[in-house]
Amino acid sequence: MSIISRNGKAYDNGDVVIAILGSIDYEVTKIDYGKKQAHTRNYSLGSNEATSWSKGKIEPSCTLGLRLKSISTLEKAAGGSLLNIKPFDIVVTFTDEENEMITDVVKVKFQEQKRTVDDGDDIKAEFEMFCLDVDFNI
């Protein structure tokens, strides 16, 4: 459920500002991040049904889409290899018309370097990042 602001407008992709390595000059085409926690059903002797449950490890995840201009800027800054960049924060800020802000911080590291060239008008890539943590609504 979203909180409706002035004129019935909620947050949308035009309200998002993404800062990578402290700069907002990157052309981000997609960011998908979150946390998932393993859950387990526990079974006991004498029952075919679960008698309890337990929680397991929390696993953060992040996929980042960038246009070639941004990829090449990062590669040049890293001496040619995205894999050499140490873990860094991606700050994602959503702002609505009332200047209500939501800020999330995602700590990631590149674990691949690639390009995607298809029949579209754009050269870009989506990177499955090595995600260390996600902090929501800080």
Nearest to 110 by CA among 135, 91, 132, 93: 132
Domain that includes residue 100, residue range: 6-135
CATH number of the domain at 118, please.
2.40.30
> Has residue 107 got a pLDDT over 60?
yes
1 inside domain: no
Report the percentage of the chain scoring pLDDT > 70: 92
46 inside domain: yes
Domain count of the chain? 1
Q: What is the pLDDT of residue 10?
A: 66
Task: Name every residue whose Cβ is closer than 8 Å to that of residue 80 and which is 6 or more positions away in sequence.
Answer: none
113 inside domain: yes
53 inside domain: yes
> End-to-end distance of the chain based on CA atoms, in angstroms?
20
- Full-model pTM: 0.82
Average pLDDT over residues 116-122: 78
114 inside domain: yes
